[in-house]
């Protein structure tokens, strides 16, 4: 094999994108800090929210603790009980669903599950969310 081909073949093995290894619901597993912004006309207009979100790694979600500002109205820290589910396909895209099974968001899970990006698909809502996995000490 010519040296030029060996170099290309060798380089290709080390440059395989992470998503080619595949994702699954197990890719979202643990506690994530998140922030979301946008417009949610269903709750009154502009919205900004921060908090933590727990994913169980099996397609179910744990509690959510968050605080938000909706059109100037502040909601202090509050906890939401576990509710809803999620899917993650091998190409690292997926969806979130509420407790009734209705799709609420589309998601991308980059970096082996260290982060996620959400886009709301709910009517009258234009919001995005970004989350980063927290490194928790035992």
What is the tens place of the pLDDT at every residue in 55-71?
999 999 999 999 999 99
10 within a domain of the structure (yes/no) = no
Range 4-31 average pLDDT: 61
138 within a domain of the structure (yes/no) = no
* Confidence at residue 13, expressed as pLDDT on a 0 to 100 scale: 34
2 within a domain of the structure (yes/no) = no
Range 36-49 average pLDDT: 91
14 within a domain of the structure (yes/no) = no
* Number of separate domains in the chain: 1
Secondary structure percentages of the chain, helix, strand, coil, to 5 = 15, 55, 30
Model confidence band, residue 42 (pLDDT cutoffs 50, 70, 90): confident
Residue span of the structural domain in which 67 resides: 19-133
97 within a domain of the structure (yes/no) = yes
58 within a domain of the structure (yes/no) = yes
6 within a domain of the structure (yes/no) = no
118 within a domain of the structure (yes/no) = yes
Residue 34's CATH number = 2.40.128
Query: Contact 90/22 with Cβ under 8 angstroms?
Result: yes
pTM of the model: 0.80
């Amino acid at each position: 094999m010519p040296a030029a081909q060996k170099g290309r073949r060798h380089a290709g093995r080390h440059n395989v994108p992470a998503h080619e290894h595949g994702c699954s619901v197990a890719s979202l597993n643990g506690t994530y800090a998140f922030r979301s912004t946008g417009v949610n006309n269903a709750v009154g207009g502009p919205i900004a929210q921060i908090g933590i979100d727990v994913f169980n790694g099996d397609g179910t979600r744990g509690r959510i603790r968050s605080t938000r500002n909706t059109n100037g109205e502040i909601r202090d820290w509050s906890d939401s009980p576990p509710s809803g589910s999620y899917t993650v396909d091998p190409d690292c895209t997926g969806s979130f669903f509420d407790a009734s099974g209705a799709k609420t968001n589309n998601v991308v899970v980059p970096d082996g599950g260290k982060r996620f990006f959400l886009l709301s698909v709910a009517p009258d809502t234009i919001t995005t969310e970004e989350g980063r996995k927290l490194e928790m000490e035992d």
